[in-house]
Amino acid sequence: HFIAGGVAGCAATIVTCPIDVIKTRQQSSSGIATTQAKLSFPSSTPKGTNTRLMTVFARGSLRNTHHTGVVQPALSIQKSSILQHCRYILKVEGGKAFFKGLGIGLVGSVPSRALYFWTYNATKIGLVADFGLKANSMPTSIIAASAGGLVATTATCPLWVLKTKQQLHRRLNNSSLSCFECAKQVWRSEGWKGFYRGLTASYAGIVETVIYFTIYEHLKSWYMKRHNMDVSGAHSSMSSWWELPGLMVISSASKCVATSIVYPHEVARTRLREEPVQQRYSGFWQTLRDVAKTEGRIGLYGGLPAQLVRQVPNMAILMGVYETVVYLGQN
C-alpha cells in the first residue's frame, strides 16, 4: 500500500500539473499581474509584452484605472477563465510555466500519498482486527481517512507551501523561482512558521478526504458485490482488469461530490500561503470571513471549475494506479 500510494501519487501529479497551476492562480487573490507596471498601457509596458492579451485578460478591472492606464489591485483572478489563463501563460510565460511546482509537487505528493495509504490501510486493519468493525463500514472509513489525512498533511505541509509559492510566482522572462530560492525566502521572511502556513486550512481539508473515502468505499463495496467479488477483507482488491474502469468512475464521482462540499478551505489555504506582502490574511477563519465579505460567494468558490477539471482525472488516475499496483502485488 505504501508503494502503491507513492506510484499513484507520482502518476496523477505529472498528468494534472498544468491544470493544478491554473487552479492555484484562480484561488489566489493577487490576480494575473506581477506588478501594476507590468499591466500598464504601452507607455510603460516592457518591450515585447503582449499588451493586448494582458488588457483583455484584465478587462474586468479596467474600470478601476482612473485614467492612469494602470490596473489597480482590484483585479480578481476569479474572473479569469481557464482558457484565459492558458492563453496568458502560453503567450507571456511560455509552456514550461504549466509545470511550475512539478518538482516540489512530486517530492510532496509521492511521500504524501504513500504515507496516507499506508496509514489508512493500517488503521483499517487495526479497527477490523482489534475492535471488530466491518472493513467497509462508515465508522471505519471515517476513522481511517482521518488518521491518514492527519499524518500525511502534517508531514508534507512545508513541501506544499513551497509548491504553492512556485506556482504563484510570475516573471516575464525565462527565469523561474527554484525550490531552494522559495525556501530561502520563506525562512528569511517568516522563519520556520512560514513553512506551516495554511496548516489549519489543510487540516480542514481532511474533512474532504473523509467524505471522499466514505463515499468511495461505500460505492466500491456495492460495485464489487454486484460483480460477486469478496468484500470481507480490510482492503477489497479487484479480481480482474475489467473492474478497473468502474472503480475509476466511482473515484471521480466521489471526489466531485467531496470537493464541491468543502471547497472554500482550498481558497483559504492558497490565500494563506501567498507571498505575505499585504499581511491581509492571518488565520483560517479570518481568511474565510474576509473573502466572503469582500468577494462574496464567487471568491469562496474561485477556481472550483479548474479544481474539478483537475480532480476528476486526478482521482481517476490516482485510484486506478493504486488499485492496479495493489492488485498486482496481491497476485
| Contact of 4 with 325, CB cutoff 8 Å | yes
Task: Judge contact between 134 and 140, C-beta under 8 A.
Answer: yes
Is the pLDDT at 37 greater than 50, yes or no?
no
Domain locations in the chain as residue ranges: 2-16+98-330
Look at residue 285 and tell me whether its pLDDT is greater than 80: yes
What pLDDT is recorded for position 70?
38
CATH for 2-16+98-330 (3.90.1150.10, 1.10.10.10, 1.50.40.10, 3.90.780.10): 1.50.40.10
Q: Cell numbers of 109, please?
A: 505528493
pTM (global) more than 0.85? no
Mean pLDDT over 121-136 rounds to 91
> How far is Cα 71 from Cα 309, in angstroms, rounded to an integer?
29
Q: Determine if residue 296 is left, alpha or beta; phi over 0 gives left, psi from -120 to 50 gives alpha, anything else beta.
A: left
More confident residue, 258 or 276: 258
Q: How crowded is residue 235: how many other Cβ atoms within 10 Å of its Cβ?
A: 16
Residue in 269, 263, 274, 270 with CA at minimum distance from that of residue 298: 263
Task: Return the SS3 of 177.
Answer: coil
Q: Is the dihedral of CA 199, 111, 322, 9 positive or negative?
A: positive
pLDDT confidence band for 273 (50 / 70 / 90): confident
What is the distance between the alpha carbons of residues 318 and 5, in angstroms, rounded to a whole number?
8
- Identity of the residue numbered 82: I
Q: What pLDDT does 39 receive?
A: 41
Q: Of the candidates 214, 194, 211, 219, which has an alpha carbon nearest to the alpha carbon of residue 274?
A: 194
How many angstroms separate the CA atoms of 271 and 265, rounded?
10
Count of CB atoms situated within 10 Å of the CB of 279? 6
**Mean per-residue pLDDT, 86-110:** 86
CA angle, 291 then 93 then 300, to 5°: 15
Q: How many CB atoms lie within 10 A of CB 310?
A: 25
Spell out the residues 6+ positions from residue 216 whose beta carbon is closer than 8 angstroms to its own: 250, 251, 254, 319
CB 327 within 8 A of CB 238: yes
| Alpha-carbon span 257 to 191, nearest angstrom | 37
Rg of the chain, C-alpha, whole Å: 21
The amino acid at 54: M
Distance CA 18, CA 96 (A): 9
Plot region of 330 (φ>0 → left; ψ -120 to 50 → alpha; else → beta): alpha
Write out the DSSP string of 204-270.
Answer: HHHHHHHHHHHHHHHHHHHHHHHTT----SSS---SSGGGHHHHHHHHHHHHHHHHHHHTHHHHHHH
Q: Per-residue confidence at 66, pLDDT binned at 50, 70, 90? A: very low
Residues 203, 11, 106, 76, Cα dihedral to 10°: -60
Q: What does the pLDDT average to over 49-65? A: 43
Local structure of 325: helix, strand or coil? helix
Comparing 173 with 116, the larger pLDDT belongs to 116
